[in-house]
Copies of this chain bind each other. A is one copy, B any other.
Amino acid sequence: MTDETGNNDGLCCPPDCCDMRGFLTFQILWELGKEALTGQQIAEKIAERRGTKPTPGTIYPALGNLREEGYIKGDQDGREIFYRLTESGEEARSESARYFYQAFRDIIEECRVLVVQDGECNRC
């Protein structure tokens, strides 16, 4: 579903107007809470939401930090490494998800209303 540049067809890219970085580590924990994934698979999952696929220089250091902190473990299979949450990773996912919900629930709900009015965001 991604084109030759790694961007996701039919989705919007981050706007020029303001910075939309952040919550990468949280998003990794979130995806790994559903199933074990490789670094590339995680990047593709993120691309499905953000419209742009994180580059290796973004995704692998983040995975390395999560591993060092004991939140994830990797099972190597050939050239691939399938990452899964540890027990403390599960706890971290729950904590950060509940915080994220507190911080952005209202905003997202109001964004939904705006999308109904103005339509979805412009394509890449």
Contacts and interface: CB of A to CB of B under 8 A. Distances in A.
A106 interface: yes
This protein's copies in its complex? 2
Contacts of A91: 17
Given A98-B115, A103-B49, A108-B104, A18 B11 contact: no
Nearest to A15: B95
A73 interface: no
Name the prevailing secondary structure of the A interface residues: helix
A61 interface: no
Given A98-B120, A118-B94, A104 B18 contact: no
A18 B12 contact: no
A60 interface: no
Given A49-B104, A101-B115, 8 more contacts: A19-B22, A49-B103, A49-B107, A97-B115, A98-B111, A98-B120, A99-B121, A105-B108
